[in-house]
Amino acid sequence: MGTSGSQPVQPNPELDRPWREFDWGQKVLKEKLENFSPSSPDVKDIKILVAGAVGAGKSSFINSVNSAFRGRICAEALVDAADSADSQSFTKILRAHPIRGKHYLPFVFKDIMALEPGALAGSQTEDIINAVFGHVKDGYKFNEEQALTHKDQHYNKDPKLSDQAFCLVYVIAANTVQFTDDKLLDKLKIIRKRISVKGIPQVVVMTKVDEACPLVDNNLRKIYTSKKIKEKMDLCSAKIGLPLSNIFPVKNYNKEINTKGDIDALILKALEQIVQIADDRLVDIQSS
């Protein structure tokens, strides 16, 4: 007689209560975003630059935002089906992706080539910094060996206020959260330091939460009681240097053929915060 065959007690993967309050209704939020207008008459739409590592889901996030507004799965930003951390960036050209619901909304995502750890691989830090400040024209084809120079035809020497991005969004996959590569982390730190000096806000959109946590995979509403997701966000905050209030976990549309309210709620809430942060930066510029 003994207990040698007994199974060890598994730790509870869930917190007793959500660590972040969240309203899962998305109708009012959607209407609020559809009625949004920038604080400056000189800016028709707010530019938001989206950056991230290979396989993080940058383009999928942009598509998911459009899907949430249109009520159907959209795929305007091309996505590589072999979307993984060991593949190469699928985005090669800087493109603007307008968001459309009942009408075109006054914010536009700019999709840039993914960051890769190698010094000369992926989007150069200078290309991202220049894109934030409006120096890179749409249609620029990224060169893995050399960043854009002022001699290139796609270099905008005198960007207007409307050419600039008012927020930089880092897209990071929760199922990997790979900060073990110092080269990639160094790139992020360089970008963050350079644009922070100019007052450009940054946020993190943490994708693939369902792949990172079985609890969330079974029930997306467990996202703010999941210990694993909270740990991923804490790690992200510590490594990049952003407060948790600027980190938003989401699930992108990837295998679904219909939109779902809970997915939309997370996507739209992240977008609302991004747009508000970007518009606050626009107000600061106007008042300075």
CATH code of the domain containing 64: 3.40.50.300
**Nearest CA among 107, 87, 88 for reference residue 96:** 107
Rounded mean pLDDT of 133-159?
Answer: 90
- pLDDT at residue 192, as a whole number: 93
Residue found under tokens 């009012």:
28
Residues 208, 68: Cα–Cα separation, whole Å? 17
Q: Are 164 and 132 in contact (CB under 8 A)?
A: yes
Query: What is the rounded distance in angstroms from the CA atom of residue 200 to the CA atom of residue 168?
Result: 7
Tell me how many domains the chain contains. Answer: 1
pLDDT at 279: 96
> With bands split at pLDDT 50, 70 and 90, how would you rate the model's confidence at 199?
very high
Q: Which residues of 192-208 are buried (b: 16+ CB within 10 A; e: fewer)?
A: bebbeeeebbbbbbbbb
| Mean pLDDT value of segment 165-170 | 96
The model's confidence at residue 86, banded by pLDDT at 50, 70 and 90, is very low
How far, CA to CA in Å, does 53 sit from each of 32, 144, 240, 277? 31, 14, 13, 23
Q: How confident is the model at residue 102 (pLDDT cuts 50, 70, 90)?
A: confident
Position 146 in a domain: yes
158 pLDDT more than 60: yes
**In a domain? residue 133:** yes
- CA atoms of 37 and 51, how far apart (whole Å): 24
| 102 inside domain | yes
The angle formed by the CA atoms of residues 240, 242 and 246, to the nearest 5 degrees, is 130
Q: How far apart are CA 201 and CA 246, in angstroms?
A: 9
Q: Distance between CA atoms of 106 and 100, rounded to whole angstroms?
A: 9
Q: How far apart are CA 171 and CA 85, in angstroms?
A: 13
221 within some domain: yes
Torsion of CA 181, 185, 186, 189, to 10 degrees: -170
Could you tell me if residue 7 is inside a domain?
no
In 3-state terms, what secondary structure has residue 136?
strand
pTM of the model: 0.90
Residue 1 has pLDDT above 60, yes or no: no
pLDDT of 84 higher than 50: no
164 contacts 207 by C-beta, under 8 angstroms: no
Q: Which residues partner with 205 through β-bridges?
A: 171, 248
CA distance 223 to 209: 8
Give 7-65 pLDDT, tens digit per residue: 777 789 999 999 999 999 888 999 999 999 999 988 999 999 999 888 889 999 999 99
Residue indicated by tokens 């396989």: 55
* Assigned domain for 281 exists: yes
pLDDT tens for residues 70-81?
Answer: 999 998 776 655
Output the pLDDT for position 186: 84
181 is a domain residue: yes
For residue 206, the 8-state DSSP code is: E
Portion of the chain with pLDDT greater than 70, in percent: 88
What's the CA gap between 145 and 69, in Å, rounded? 38
Q: Which domain holds residue 48?
A: 27-287
Q: pLDDT digits over 230-281, tens only?
A: 999 999 999 889 999 999 999 999 999 999 999 999 999 999 999 999 999 9
4: in domain: no
Mean pLDDT of the chain: 88
